[in-house]
């Protein structure tokens, strides 16, 4: 069953590119969180999306939000990807796509992991969901618009 706007975001704990365990509940009451699921490290679309999040990272910080990218790539792959593109945010390894399934992120053409972004407020409520495989930069603009609405 897919997560919907208004639902409490399911908690998870995954390993980051640095080897640290990161849980969504760690941010509850502290920060809004943008969780974006993407197909694969260091591929053209995923790199464009990650770099767009990087380039707007200060805007997310200014809005009191943290950005978290999730794919099934390994910790080592995430470490290389984050280093290569100087990504300032957390990348989490969802081995076996368990969290992707928990959120109900659809596959594209039934084979490729989908690209979906969730804006989650400080109380852990999903405030916006954006699903687009090809409009990489819209994931960022949609997230910022939602954060502005949450904070106003």
Catalytic center residues: 46
Nearest Cα residue to 68 out of 113, 123, 31 = 31
∠ CA(43), CA(45), CA(48), 5° rounding? 100
- What tokens appear for 92 in the block? 């989490």
Strand partners, 112: 108
At 93, is the secondary structure helix, strand, or coil?
strand
> Rounded to whole angstroms, how far apart are CA atoms 95 and 97?
5
Neighbours of 79 (CB within 10 A): 18
Nearest Cα residue to 66 out of 121, 3, 114 = 121
∠ CA(141), CA(19), CA(88), 5° rounding? 30
């Amino acid at each position: 069953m897919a997560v919907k706007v208004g639902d409490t975001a399911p908690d998870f704990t995954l390993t980051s590119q640095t080897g640290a365990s990161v849980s969504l509940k760690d941010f509850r009451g502290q920060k809004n969180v943008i969780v974006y699921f993407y197909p694969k490290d260091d591929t053209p679309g995923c790199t464009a999306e990650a770099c767009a999040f990087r380039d707007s990272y200060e805007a997310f910080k200014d809005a009191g939000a943290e950005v978290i990218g999730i794919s099934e790539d390994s910790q080592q792959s995430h470490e290389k990807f984050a280093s290569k593109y100087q990504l300032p945010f957390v990348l989490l390894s969802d081995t076996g796509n368990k969290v992707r399934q928990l959120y109900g992120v659809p596959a594209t053409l039934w084979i490729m992991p989908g690209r979906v972004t969730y804006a989650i407020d400080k109380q852990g409520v999903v405030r916006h969901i954006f699903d687009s495989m090809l409009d990489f930069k819209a994931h960022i603009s949609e997230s910022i618009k939602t954060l502005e609405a949450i904070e106003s």
